[in-house]
A = this chain, B = another copy of it.
Amino acid sequence: MMRSKITIHDIARSLKISPSTVSRALNDNPRISESTRQKVKVFAQENDYTPNILASSLRKGRSLKVGIVVPRINRHFFSNVIGEVEEILNETGYNLIICQTLEDYKKEIHNIKTLVNLHVDAIFISLSTGTKNLDHIKELQKSGIHLVMFDRVDESLGIDLVKLDDFMGSFNTVQHLINQGCRNIVHFGGPTHILSYHERQKGYSEALEKNNIQTSLNKINSDTLTKEKGYHAMINLIETNKIPDAIFSASDYSALGAVLACRERNIEIPKDICIAGFANEPFTEFIRPGLTSTDQKPELMGKKVAELFLNKGSNKDQIKSIIKPELIIRESTLKL
């Protein structure tokens, strides 16, 4: 555990062989005799030799490090993606460096610069909402660092990606609301320059259309993703006497805000209004009433992301992995 003190030169000297032989033995180079390999490995083990990764990375140009950039690590979805990625990468000798952008474009650029600087072999990124310009990603593409986008992706860049079928998740939720008898459904959405939110909005609209329910732009609140914004949007609906019979929110947090507003104004869920969120955050399960939401399969997504990197090989084609969401129905939308 000591800060690595002994080097391959020390081993070489003790064993009266050359450093390169030691290096090769340690790296299981087939051109080294079994006996030498054993001798070296045993000696290394006994003397607590640990390779200097810095030196090896400098020389090899690869670092066995992977960076992951997410909007926030304390979101259930992201922390579970990260957990899964970390587990798989550790098994294969890679280390994961986690960065958060806090939805800030500048911080995203800074994080990427840092990772490039650390000579990571790959970067897994989920774009921040503040990111409207993708030049930094395009530059990154040229750098030779393996790139995988996930969840908040851009499909046009030709970069391998893993994403949820957000359209399906959204469509199914709205269809469920309609099945419960809701007709006047308001959408709390996110900025549509983010593909996920665009698709969720589209799923909402198409589900309504398919059921011959008139859609209306003033039923769509974009940029309503936080608890505070959801709360205020709901209060606004109440105070302008436009209470709908359902809210479909693209975020559990803004759905929560709506729930809190309803509690405050004594509007009963699901009797007076149905509310559905998105992401299946843990709290959706234990608030009262339980909040209907869509599970985004974070572990599966993490697995796919890691595998996309590990199995890439020389395949040059863009790979898009689309994950099927699961609608978790709870009391907040159960009228029947």
Residues on A facing B (Cβ under 8 Å)? 1-4, 50-55, 57-58, 63, 65, 72-74, 76, 79-80, 82-83, 86, 90, 95, 97-98, 100, 102, 109-110, 112-114, 116-119, 136, 139-140, 142-145, 256, 259-260, 263, 282-283, 286-288
Residue in contact with A50 in the complex, picked from B63, B82, B117, CB distance below 8 Å: B117
A73 and B100 CA atoms in complex are apart in Å by 12
Which listed residue (B57, B76, B90) contacts A110, Cβ 8 A?
Answer: B90
B287 touches A263 (CB 8 A): no
A112 and B1 alpha carbons, distance in the complex (Å): 8
For A57, the chain B residues whose CB sits under 8 A away are 54
> Least Cβ distance of A10 to chain B in Å?
17
Residue pair A1, B139 in contact (C-beta under 8 Å): yes
Which residues of B are found within 8 Å of A80, using beta-carbon distances?
Answer: 74
- When all copies of this chain in the complex are counted, the total is 2
Minimal Cβ-Cβ distance residue in B for A51:
B117
B63 touches A73 (CB 8 A): no
A-B contact pairs, 13 of them (CB 8 A): A1-B109, A1-B136, A2-B142, A3-B119, A3-B143, A52-B58, A54-B58, A55-B58, A74-B76, A83-B100, A95-B97, A283-B287, A288-B288
Taking CB atoms, residues of chain B closer than 8 Å to A118 are 53-54, 65, 95
In the bound assembly, the distance between CA atoms of A283 and B281 in angstroms comes to 11
Given contacts A52-B119, A65-B118, A97-B98, 19 further A-B contacts (CB under 8 A): A1-B112, A1-B139, A2-B143, A3-B144, A4-B116, A50-B116, A53-B117, A54-B58, A54-B118, A58-B58, A73-B73, A73-B82, A74-B74, A74-B76, A90-B110, A98-B98, A256-B286, A287-B287, A287-B288
Cα–Cα distance between A259 and B263 once the two chains are bound (Å) = 19
Which residues of B are found within 8 Å of A288, using beta-carbon distances? 263, 287-288
Query: 6 tightest A-B contacts by CB?
Result: A74-B79, A1-B139, A3-B143, A98-B98, A283-B283, A54-B58
